[in-house]
């Protein structure tokens, strides 16, 4: 996925259902929807406007991979306790800070591969 800059109100929200499944809420952005649709076993609840991801390790690993370039907020600490892989995901604020850092480094002549100015 491309390194896009999203507004601070645009992020994926992860929560935990009572049965241990993960609940995924997101604004309608085609790229994000495609990422979530890549998770096997997901179910969409059109009325509540969220996806339910099975609370199985494989499904959560695929979800983490699909969301790795997107800003994510995990609302449930219990979800993280069950699936530590979710800690690798970045919040919207972290994504913004990393993008600003990349822009500043690029403006000063640095690249992601080089450690010194060009």
Residue 103 covered by a domain: no
Residue 63 covered by a domain: yes
Residue 96 covered by a domain: no
Residue 62 covered by a domain: yes
CB 113 within 8 A of CB 105: no
pLDDT of residue 97: 76
Residue 82 covered by a domain: yes
Q: Which domain holds residue 55?
A: 12-90
> How many domains in the chain?
1
E strands, 1-118, in order: 12-16, 22-25, 43-45, 50-53, 72-74
Question: For tokens 């507004």, what's the residue?
Answer: 7
User: Number of helices and strands (H, E) in the chain?
Assistant: 4, 5
List average pLDDT for each run of 10 residues in the chain, which is 118 residues long.
57 90 90 90 87 92 89 86 82 72 84 61
Residue 57 covered by a domain: yes
Residue 110 covered by a domain: no
pLDDT of residue 104: 87
pLDDT of residue 58: 92
pLDDT of residue 1: 43
pLDDT of residue 108: 86
pLDDT of residue 103: 85
pLDDT of residue 71: 85
Residue 108 covered by a domain: no
């Amino acid at each position: 996925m491309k390194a896009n800059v999203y507004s601070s109100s645009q992020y994926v929200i992860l929560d935990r259902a009572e049965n241990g499944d993960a609940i995924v809420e997101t604004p309608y952005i085609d790229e994000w929807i495609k990422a979530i649709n890549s998770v096997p076993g997901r179910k969409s609840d059109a009325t509540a406007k969220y996806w339910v991801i099975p609370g199985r390790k494989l499904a959560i690993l695929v979800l983490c991979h699909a969301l790795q370039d997107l800003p994510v907020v995990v609302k449930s600490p219990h979800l993280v306790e069950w699936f530590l892989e979710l800690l690798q995901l970045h919040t919207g604020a972290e994504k913004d800070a990393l993008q600003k850092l990349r822009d500043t480094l690029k403006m000063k002549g640095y690249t992601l591969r080089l450690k010194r100015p060009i």
